[in-house]
Amino acid sequence: MHSPPGALLRPDDGDALRQVLRQLHDRSGVPVLFGGQVENTLLSLSQFIGVRTAGLRGLRVRAETGLGGRVLTTGRPAGVTDYRSARSITHDYDRPVLTEGIRSVVAVPVVVSGTVRAVLYGASRGPAPLGDRAADAVADASRRLAAELVIRDEVDNRLRLLDAAQGRADGGRAGVPLEEVREVHAELRRIAQQVPDGDLRGRLLDVAGRLAQPSAAPSEAGPVLAPRELDVLAQVALGCSNAEAGRRLSLLPETVKSYLRSAMRKLGASTRFEAVVAARRQGLLP
């Protein structure tokens, strides 16, 4: 889950894991929360809330060992009400778990495209086991993190041509078809509106803007379009109707038409085509 070499946009996925655990703690009150990312079928615990010792920090969990290893293997949530006496798991990690005083624990995988990418744990130290509400809260956090990773993966896929686009030496895009650049630009703006992470959203829009800039070198400041106006115009530039642009951007056709009219007015254009041409001349679209 680390950023791949050359990825200019993807932040550390560990930050997303930490944020999800914090939200889970605030919403559920589960006393002990921890988790980690999975690489090469090895789970490395890295994020912790409510722990009292250092035993779990940096622990590496192998497939089929312990509760986390069982989750890694099955891809399904699992839990035990009394860790010390549990017979459904191996006890490879008794020392750090019992030193922490953990008694009841649930582990939930974060599954993306059929692969376990992380595991979240919720635990308690008291005699009362974690209830269904706590387990459901951990499962909901897992789904939210999985959705975030899906978006980040999609962004990485869409940016496979970014290095080529930035590495141009003569104003071209190193053989990358212009239409593909335009499709990626529009898709980046569309995805940005779905991203809850403000930092990631800003990075997406920044990269989209950098893809647009090489298409023009305006001599003076042009009109400032609102983000949604530019989103709509980017879809229109691909040949989308108002209805199709609305479906892609989760907007009503009438709302699309309103944004488009506003963009046309700012650009001094009387038709959709003129608006696209004017936006490209201003470096707002690739």
240: domain CATH number is: 1.10.10.10
How many structural domains are present in the chain?
Answer: 2
Query: Left, alpha or beta for 119 (phi > 0: left; psi -120 to 50: alpha)?
Result: beta
In a domain, residue 150? The reply is no
Q: Are 30 and 138 in the same domain?
A: yes
Same domain? 127 vs 168: no
Residue 170 has pLDDT above 70, yes or no: no
- Residues β-bridged to residue 79: 106
Would you say 1 and 119 are in contact if contact means Cβ atoms under 8 Å apart?
A: no
The sign one gets for the Cα dihedral 222, 228, 234, 239 is negative
- Asked if residue 170 and residue 74 are part of one domain, the reply reads no
Torsion of CA 159, 152, 114, 70, to 10 degrees: 140
Assessment of whether the complete model's pTM goes beyond 0.75: no
Q: Which of 145, 171, 203 is the endpoint of a domain?
A: 145
Asked if the structure places residue 152 within a domain, the reply is: no
Is 44 part of any domain? yes
Place of tokens 């930050």: 15
The string of pLDDT tens digits covering residues 95-140 is 999 999 999 999 999 999 899 999 999 999 988 889 999 999 999 9
Do 134 and 184 lie in one domain? The reply is no
| Domain span including residue 71 | 13-145
Is residue 197 in some structural domain?
A: yes
Of 43, 32, 27, 48, the closest CA to residue 104 belongs to 32
d(CA 242, CA 229): 13
Let me know whether 132 and 193 are in one domain.
no
Residues 56 and 84 reside in one and the same domain = yes
Please tell me the distance from the alpha carbon of residue 3 to that of residue 9, in angstroms, as a whole number. Answer: 9
On whether both 141 and 164 belong to a single domain, the answer is: no
Q: What is the pLDDT of residues 44-68, one digit of tens each?
A: 999 999 999 999 999 999 999 999 9
Q: Are 109 and 83 in contact (CB under 8 A)?
A: no
In a domain, 2, yes or no: no
Q: What is the CATH number of the domain that holds 118?
A: 3.30.450.40
